[in-house]
Structure 1
Amino acid sequence: MNTFDTAIETFLTQLHLSTLSSAGIRFVADSYTFKGLVLIPLLWWIWFRPGADREWRREMVIAAIFSGLLALSVGRILAHFLPFRVRPLYEQNLHLQFPSIPQHESLLSAWSSFPSDHAMLWAAVSVGIFIVSRRLGVLALSYTVIFICAPRAYLGFHYPTDLLAGAAIGILITYLMTRNSVRNLYAPRVLRWIESYPGQSAAVGFVLCLEIVTQFDELRSFANAIFRNM
C-alpha cells in the first residue's frame, strides 16, 4: 500500500462525521439520481439546444456516449487482467474503520478496486460535456469529483489512486474519441442513422442512456451470477 492512499484514507476515516452525515454520503454514493441522472440530462440538453453548430454538438454527444461505453469496457478489462486489488473497505491490514458495510457486499468484494469504473465513466462523459461547453463542463467535472468520486473514497469503496487512474483513463478515452480524425469515422454515420430512423433511434437512445445511468448494474449482476454457477 502506497503512502498517498494510506494517508488519504486515514484522514477520511478520522473525520468523525455524524451518523446522519455518513448515511447521507452513503445514499449519494449508491443513488443513481446523484450519478448519471444528473450528468446524462446535460447531454440531452446539448443535443436539443438549437444553434448553427447543432450537427457538431450532436456528434460530440455521440462521441461522449461512445467514450463512456468504451471506458466501462476498458475498466472491466483492466480489472480482470491486472493484479486483484482488495478494496480498502475489506483490507484488514489498513486497520481503519469505515462508516458501514454496503448491502451489495458480496458483489463489491469480488471486484477489483483498481481502476474505478465510476471515475472512468463519468470523467469520460464530463470531459465530453466540457469540450462542448466550458461552463457546463467545469460544473460536470466538479460534480463528478464531489458527488461521485469523493464519497467512494470516504466509504472505502476505492483508494484515491483507483479514482485518479480511472478518471485519467476516462479523460484520455474521450480526448481520443473526440479528435476529428477519430470522431469522423463513426459519429457522422451514427447521426445519419438517428436522423433517418427517429423512432427506432429514440428507443435505442432511451435504453442506452438508462443503462449508462445504472452502469449496466443489473446486467452485470446477472452475468456475474451466471459465471459463478457455471
Structure 2
Amino acid sequence: MEMPIHSCFGDLGGGMLTLDESLFLLINGWVGTSWSFDHLVFRIAHSHLLKGSVLVALLWWSWHRAQSQARASVILRTVVGVLMAVAVARAMQNLLPARLRPAHDPALLERGFVLFDEFDPAILEGLSSFPSDHAVLAFAMATAVFLEHRRLGIVAMVWALLTSCLPRVYLGMRYPGDIIAGAIVGTLVMLAVASLPVPQLLDRRVETLALRHRGLFYAVLFLATSQMATVFVDSRALFGTVANLVLLHLPRL
C-alpha cells in the first residue's frame, strides 16, 4: 500500500520550509539552460557506478590502509554503521509526517519549477521526500572513509555531494533540506557506531574469524558493499516481495 503524501510537513518547518523551497528553486532554475548539462546531471543521478560504486571503491581503499590486525573490526563497524544509518532514515520517512517531493508539489510549478523532459516524476509516487536516503547512505560511507584517511574522506564527501545529492535537488527529486538532514543522519550514525566501545576480546574474535575464513569473509563483504553501491535496491525489492508473499498466505497458515 502506498504511503499517503500530503503537505503537513510544512507545519513543522514554517519559515524554514519557505527558505528550503527558495533554495531549491534557485538550484532547479538552471534546468533548461543547457540540454546537454541537464542530460549529464540526469545520467549522474541515475548512475549507481558514479554514485555508489566510487564511494565503495574509496571504502575498500581506506580499509586497505587500516592496520592489518584491526582491519576486520573496522570493516564490520562500517557495514553495521551503514545498515543502522539506512534503518534510521527509513524509520524517519515512515514515522514523520510525509513530505511531497518537489516534482509533485503543484505550488512549486506556479513558482517556476522546471521539469527536465527525461525525468518522470511518477517513479517517486508514494515516497516521502524527508530525509534523503541517498544522502544518508553516501555520507555514512564517506564518513567511514574519513575516519580512516582524512584527505580521502574529504574527497569522498565532495564526491557524495556532487553525485548523490545535488543532482537530485537539481532535477526535483529532493529539497536541499532533505539532503542536509540525510547527510547529518548518515554522518552522526556512522560516528556513533565507530565510537562505540567494543571489548578487546570481541575485537580479537572478529579478527580471528576473518583470518580463519578469509575467503568467506571477503565474499560476504563483496555482496554487502555491492548492495551499498546500489542503495540496497535489489535487497529492498526482494525483501518486499517476500514480505508480500508471507502476508498473502498468512491467513492460510
TM-score (norm 1): 0.88
Alignment-derived partner of residue 76 in structure 2: 62
Deviation by residue 1:84-125 (Cα, 9 ceiling, x = unmatched): 11110111111112224645x544222111111111111111
1:189–1:86 CA distance, 2 compared to 1 (3 A): farther
The runs of 5 or more residues in structure 1 that have no matched partner are none
Distance 1:74 1:114 in 2: 12
1:83–1:129 CA distance, 2 compared to 1 (3 A): same
Question: In the alignment, residue 84 of structure 1 is paired with which amino acid?
Answer: A
Distance 2:22 2:220 in 1: 45
Alignment-derived partner of residue 216 in structure 2: 200
The structure number with the bigger radius of gyration is 2
Distance 1:101 1:117 in 2: 22
The runs of 5 or more residues in structure 2 that have no matched partner are 1-9, 11-16, 249-253
Contact between 1:63 and 1:183, CA under 8 Å: does it hold in 2?
no
Distance 2:100 2:40 in 1: 25
Q: Does 1:4 align with 2:19?
A: yes
- When the two chains are superposed, the root-mean-square deviation of aligned CA atoms in Å is 2.5
Question: In the alignment, residue 87 of structure 1 is paired with which amino acid?
Answer: R
Alignment-derived partner of residue 99 in structure 1: 116
Question: In the alignment, residue 40 of structure 1 is paired with which amino acid?
Answer: V
1:58–1:223 CA distance, 2 compared to 1 (3 A): closer
Alignment-derived partner of residue 209 in structure 1: 225
Question: In the alignment, residue 29 of structure 1 is paired with which amino acid?
Answer: A
Q: Among 5, 19, 22, which residue is 2:38 paired with?
A: 22
What is the percent sequence identity of the aligned residues?
A: 30
Q: Among 114, 133, 155, which residue is 2:171 paired with?
A: 155
Distance 2:163 2:57 in 1: 16
SS of 1:181's partner is coil
TM-score (norm 2): 0.80
Distance 1:207 1:149 in 2: 24
1:14–1:133 CA distance, 2 compared to 1 (3 A): same
